[in-house]
Chain A
Amino acid sequence: MSAIVSVRNVTKDYMLGKTVVHALREVSLEVEGGDFLSIAGPSGSGKTTLLNLVGCVDTATGGVVEVDGRDTSTLSERALTDLRLRRIGFIFQSFNLVSVLTVAQNVEFPLLLQGGLTAKERAQRVAALLAAVGIEGYAKHRPSELSGGQRQRVAVARALVTRPALVLADEPTANLDSKTGESVIDLMKEMNRKDGTTFIFSTHDPKVMAHASAIVRIEDGRIVARERTAAA
């Protein structure tokens, strides 16, 4: 399989007050389609920065980031937004659901931005995903009425509804207790296996890492190791 993400010699510096922080130093990484990759490292090691670059929500100071075969540094803001909309799904640490919309509307939201499907098609796809993540009974509830684990399941459904090539998850289990966290990771894994969607998630929890097919370890902005796991 060809690489869905290709990061080559990427550096990312940003200013923190008057000092320059080198968040990433000469990082290179290839992610194959269908991977279930975990990025591991302590806080401040550069995990989130790397995910942001791959997710096209931030730009690199140097080097090349290719997503789905396209060099993101050459794309306009609009084109990047469109790329995110069509090819990438996001799962956030704190769920980030739109509080004023229902569960079903939250999941449907990216489809509406994308356009192209009839209301019936959208409804079917949303219903199928809600069933797949196990919260079909909560379609009309507001996010505030759900538990943390349920909310993250909604977020997983939302990330997958556009059938993206790549789903990025930054610390998806950090706000969940370990049991719930594991069940969310299991769900992601199941989706990865069923549809072949590539997942990249960051975590510092060894138990969560254990579910990944490969682990990339980052320290001080550098990749220090890439290992395959027993799960692979």
Chain B
Amino acid sequence: MRTRVDATRILFRIAFRNLLASRAKTAIMGGIIGLGSLLVVFGTAVVDSLDAGMARSIQGSLTAHLQLYRKDSPDSLQVFGGMTGASRLEPMESYEAVKKVVAAVPNVKAVVPMGIDRAFVSSGNVMDLALEKLRADAREVFPQGSGKRTTPATTPEARQRYDARKAHVRRMIAILREELGQARVLVDIPPAERAERAAQWADLERADTSAFWSSFDRDPWVALEFLENRVAPLQTENGFLFIRYLGTDLEAFRKAFDRMEVVEGTAVPPGRRGILLGKFYAEEFLKLKHARRLDKIKEARARGRRIATDEELKRWVAENASQTRDILLQLDPTQAESATAKLDAFLGVPERDLAKLLPLFFRTDDASFDARERFFYAELAPMLQLYTFRVGDVITIKAPARSGYMNAVNVKIYGVVAFKGLEDSSLASVFTLMDLQSFRDLYGWVTPDKAAEIAEIKRSAGLTELGREDAEAALFGAQGSTATPAAGRPTPIPDVPVTRERRGRDSDLFSRVYSQEEIDRGVVMNVAVALQDPRRLRETQAAIQKAVDDAGLGLTVIDWKQAAGTLGQTMTGLQVALYTSAFILFVIALVIMNNAMVMAMLQRVKEIGTMRAIGAQRRFVLLVSLVESIAVGVVFGLAGAGAAAGLVWLVRAMGGIRSDNAQLQFLFSGPTLMPRFAGSGLAIALGIVILVSVVSGIYPAILATRITPLEAMQSEE
């Protein structure tokens, strides 16, 4: 036995000495093997943590572990939306039945009903908004309606507010006239539209005359109607905003998705109708563009970017300086005067025109930015409406229903919601969470309750004589059945946002508390399932599939990765890319090692022949050769893995891989990715490395055994 050990020792000694004797060759083989090993280990660490991060993001935000939807749906479910927008799914008419079956499956922690879609929100025409406020103020100054003519309870304050508001509207009209006047010079109007355009221009000019305003109070209602119908529509920038929403049982959602947090306002009280705006959506789409850009510049500067050198920051500064109209329109004359005085003092310039002061103010450089950003929020922001809607507002959401008609619901904004670590994510925190009842109204599924409600409204509508305001409410209000046909165009009819008057109508809907039974009874599009033990995902997926099949529900169960759609594929793509490049590298390593070993073998034919002549068996020669290639593989493979571990450590020590990119942050499950040195990566890498070296060593080793002792006898000449 002792000798066997010694023989093995000499075998290794020969193998290692051979490797040392040809250092260049060994270094090349080892370099490639080491690189491959480094790539596999570091790549696996990154991809694993990406995978884990994405799993956390997806599971914790919207998807949970499993999703169910109807088998006969035209699209497959993609929670975050695919290339073509939201997936078209067939509805599950009774969530109650699904909940009962799924909740009974072992390992199911929570079942959450969902309906995901896009809708429109009227963001309000600034002119419309101003006129609406003017109308409200006028009503206080000139009480009317409701039949009872009481003596005017006008206070001097109300009168003052009303006059300020009038001045504001007049100022807006002046701005509008100036803009349209410029457009008239620039744009060639087609003959067919000339008459209409001329009439519009005449109306606008009339609204901008002192005569019009001095006679305004004689019949404010006629004047207001004229402004509303003839002038406000000329203000073309009355957008509607897209909104992506997820209708759900908000209580069940909150319990199942622990990364969700209400960052502003409150959660929707249990059983109530209401929505929680997505944080990212609120910041990106609802916030005043100037404020948003200032935020972004501030954040970028905190990360070390500078206005002087960064093209994007320069562009934001330029946009802020040139597009000051939004701010000008928002300020009434009193506010404008105050803003002018403040800006004058701050900037120290003798300029009295706000339209010129604002660009001066917003044209910041790195030195002045911080002070101006503080000034903006401290002095200007309080006079401005920073967000299109805010917590507490009631907004009208419209969507094309299944029938093709537009459905609309009025919902109250209770709060702003974000997902921990994904606050800036355009994927998770863009979603607005909505109660299921409102979702069902939007979706256009008529529940028995709803049918009764509609009947009630119809009856009362038939009996009551409707005032102008009520008629409008009846036409564009909460009930879906009487909505305007959309005729395939996604453009909604511009709508006046809900006002205090209408809230009375909605208040019974808003204060109504729905029971769990009512929430569960009715249509949903897909169902999320959270598991107690996510490691048993496959098993539970199969169990749920079997349970719903047995119940004849016609549903299909998919895992979170599949439900994440293109996102999940991104991950698979990354993994494929990593392993493909590693594979190619190892194939190259294999070819080169094989080649080098064969060359080495040919150089040593005489030596090997000598060993054979002296009495070395073929097996000995085979082993020497194999030990050489495996030693290269293991030593350099380990070195590569060690280097990868060092790299992982270094990346972690430097605070992980940072990303400003929202998509990447979603993959990272936060602003930084912390790669973890995974044992699995090491095992895989070493396994592959040993396999590659054995495979590349086999052929030269077999060649070596074919060398006969006769080779030793050949003379050198």
Contacts and interface: CB of A to CB of B under 8 A. Distances in A.
Interface of A: 48, 51-52, 55, 57-58, 77-78, 81-82, 84-86, 90, 92-94, 96, 98-101, 105, 108-110, 112-119, 122, 158, 162, 170-171, 174-175
Range class of the B interface residue count: 20 to 34
Contacts of A170: 713
Given A93-B715, A105-B13, A98 B3 contact: no
A175 B717 CA distance: 10
Nearest to B619: A78
B18 interface: yes
B13 A101 contact: yes
Given A85-B615, A92-B712, A100-B14, 18 more contacts: A55-B709, A81-B612, A81-B615, A82-B615, A85-B614, A92-B713, A96-B607, A98-B14, A101-B13, A105-B13, A112-B10, A113-B614, A115-B3, A115-B4, A115-B7, A118-B3, A122-B6, A170-B713
19 contacts: A51-B713, A55-B613, A55-B709, A78-B617, A81-B615, A81-B617, A81-B618, A84-B615, A84-B709, A85-B615, A86-B615, A98-B610, A99-B21, A100-B13, A100-B17, A105-B13, A113-B615, A113-B617, A119-B6
Given A99-B21, A170-B713, A90 B6 contact: no
A116 B14 CA distance: 21
A48 B713 contact: yes
Contact of A113 (B21, B620, B708): B620
B2 interface: yes
B715 A94 contact: yes
B2 A158 contact: no
Nearest to A86: B615
Nearest to B6: A112
B616 A113 contact: yes
A143 B606 CA distance: 15
A77 B607 CA distance: 19
A55 B712 CA distance: 12
B534 to A, nearest CB: 55
B311 interface: no
Contacts of A55: 613, 709
Contact of B606 (A96, A119, A174): A96
Contacts of A48: 713
Nearest to A162: B615
A84 to B, nearest CB: 5
B710 interface: yes
B613 A90 contact: yes
B38 to A, nearest CB: 30
Question: What are the 4 closest A-B residue pairs judged by CB atoms, nearest first?
Answer: A85-B615, A100-B17, A115-B3, A57-B709
A140 to B, nearest CB: 14
A58 B710 contact: yes
B643 interface: no
SS class, residues of chain B in contact with chain A: helix
Nearest to B610: A96
A162 B616 CA distance: 13
Contacts of A108: 10
A112 B2 CA distance: 10
Contacts, number: 99
B716 interface: yes
A21 B620 CA distance: 33
Nearest to B606: A96
B129 interface: no
Contacts of A77: 618
A57 B710 contact: yes
B7 A112 contact: yes
B611 interface: yes
Interface in B601-647: 606-607, 610-618, 620
A158 B614 contact: yes
A84 B613 contact: yes
Nearest to B15: A100
A116 B18 CA distance: 27
Interface string B2-33: 11101100100110011011000000000000
B712 A90 contact: yes
A93 B716 CA distance: 9
- Interface-centre pick from B21, B614, B617, B710 (highest chain A CB count, 10 A): B614
Contacts of A93: 715-716
Given A57-B710, A58-B710, A171-B715, A112 B3 contact: yes
Contacts of B2: 118-119
B715 A116 contact: no
A68 to B, nearest CB: 14
Contacts of A101: 10, 13-14, 17
B229 to A, nearest CB: 101
A100 B615 contact: no
- Interface-centre pick from B18, B615, B715 (highest chain A CB count, 10 A): B615
Contact of B18 (A78, A86, A100): A100
Given A101-B17, A115-B4, A57 B708 contact: yes
Contacts of B614: 84-85, 90, 109-110, 113, 158
A117 B5 CA distance: 12
B14 A174 contact: no
A31 B511 CA distance: 120
Contacts of A81: 612, 615-618
Contacts of A171: 715
Contacts of A94: 606, 715-716
A94 B610 CA distance: 11
B707 to A, nearest CB: 12
Contacts of B606: 94, 96
Interface in B210-250: none
B713 A100 contact: no
B715 A57 contact: no
B3 A117 contact: yes
Contact of B10 (A84, A85, A90, A105): A105
Given A99-B21, A100-B14, A114 B615 contact: yes
A158 B6 CA distance: 17
A52 B610 contact: no
B615 to A, nearest CB: 3
Contacts of B708: 57
Contacts of A174: 715
A183 to B, nearest CB: 21
A99 B607 contact: yes
Contacts of B13: 100-101, 105
A112 B20 CA distance: 22
Contacts of B712: 57, 90, 92, 96
A193 B710 CA distance: 29
